[in-house]
Amino acid sequence: MDFKTDFKPLTVQPQEIEGKSFEMITEELGEHPFTAEQYPVVQRVIHASADFELGRSMVFHPKAIEAGIAAIRAGQQVVADVQMIQAGVSKDRIRQFGGDVHVYISDPDVIEEAKRLNTTRAIISMRKAIQASEGGIYAIGNAPTALLELIRLVKEGAAKPGLVIGMPVGFVSAAESKDELRKLDIPFITNIGRKGGSTIVVAALNAISLMAVR
Ligand SMILES: C/C1=C2N=C(/C=C3N=C(/C(C)=C4\N[C@@](C)([C@@H]5N=C1[C@](C)(CCC(=O)O)[C@H]5CC(=O)O)[C@@](C)(CC(=O)O)[C@@H]4CCC(=O)O)[C@@](C)(CC(=O)O)[C@@H]\3CCC(=O)O)C(C)(C)[C@@H]/2CCC(=O)O
């Protein structure tokens, strides 16, 4: 493709835009309770959402960041609840250690089983995921029932995630599922309230994978 035009090109450096945004976020956020390791995750979440309230509502298990970095470096798998997360994650940084991003929600056997049990595909996808991904990172940004099911499986001892990034968005059970996650003593990243979403979880995971490659 020929990109030549008669227009004078507008020269904008991509890194400058991101750097300027990060400066603005730090200035506008001001004082915050996050550690130096947690802050890049909060900063990238605010960067992706322009939502300071969401950033301030984030809660980290004390071991979340080191556990996430260790899981990526160990080549552990990432399980996402929906394909939007799989599309958004910077997969090169995960694949270079041997990991990859997996989504089971649209697998025919998951759809079939959800229909048979008259339940959500999200729940069945977590049941399938735990068979393949012990020690992996679970990235849940859409489906509250996926997070609730994962929590149930952890409590039963059937699931042992390396890190859970649980920030589903919405009204039915979204805030409640995150309240339950915060009660677990396993590495987690979450937030308080209804806000969240796939883009937010992608931002958090991308911040951690950046730390893993540095
Ligand atoms: C309750 C659900 C919500 N979904 C939302 C927003 C989006 N969902 C998208 C898509 C394409 C999918 N959502 C499903 C996961 C579907 N969504 C649900 C469920 C009905 C129940 C989940 C739960 O309560 O835990 C869920 C169906 C299920 O059986 O699990 C999806 C599987 C639906 C489908 O295609 O059948 C599908 C994911 C498919 C895949 O990844 O392969 C959106 C992209 C739709 C859109 O806006 O176009 C969007 C993504 C938002 C995001 O940031 O991820 C809500 C609004 C979050 C809602 C939960 C809130 C609520 O109503 O209380």
- Is 24 domain-assigned? no
Number of domains in the chain: 1
- Is 74 domain-assigned? yes
Task: List the domain range (segments joined by +) for residue 74.
Answer: 34-103+133-213
Please tell me if the CB atom of residue 170 comes closer than 6 angstroms to any atom of ligand 1.
yes
- Is 116 domain-assigned? no
Task: Report the CATH number that the domain containing residue 58 is assigned in CATH.
Answer: 3.40.50.10230
Q: How far apart are CA 107 and CA 124, in angstroms?
A: 10
CA distances in angstroms from 4 to 11, 12, 13, 14, 65, listed in the order given: 14, 17, 19, 20, 45
The model carries a pTM of: 0.93
- Is 208 domain-assigned? yes
ipTM higher than threshold 0.90: no
**Residue closest by Cα to atom 4 of ligand 1:** 142
Please tell me if the CB atom of residue 167 comes closer than 6 angstroms to any atom of ligand 1.
no
What's the 145 CA to ligand 1 centre distance in angstroms?
10
- Is 108 domain-assigned? no
**Residue closest by Cα to atom 39 of ligand 1:** 82
pLDDT surpasses 90 at 3: no
- Is 11 domain-assigned? no
**Residue closest by Cα to atom 10 of ligand 1:** 82
- Is 85 domain-assigned? yes
Per-residue model confidence as pLDDT tens digits over 20-66: 999 999 999 999 999 999 999 999 999 999 999 999 999 999 999 99
Please tell me if the CB atom of residue 141 comes closer than 6 angstroms to any atom of ligand 1.
yes
Per-residue model confidence as pLDDT tens digits over 79-130: 999 999 999 999 999 999 999 999 999 999 999 999 999 999 999 999 999 9
- Confidence at residue 135, expressed as pLDDT on a 0 to 100 scale: 92
What's the 36 CA to ligand 1 centre distance in angstroms?
33
**Residue closest by Cα to atom 55 of ligand 1:** 170
- Is 117 domain-assigned? no
Please tell me if the CB atom of residue 122 comes closer than 6 angstroms to any atom of ligand 1.
yes
Please tell me if the CB atom of residue 197 comes closer than 6 angstroms to any atom of ligand 1.
yes
What's the 142 CA to ligand 1 centre distance in angstroms?
6
Is 47 catalytic? The answer is: yes
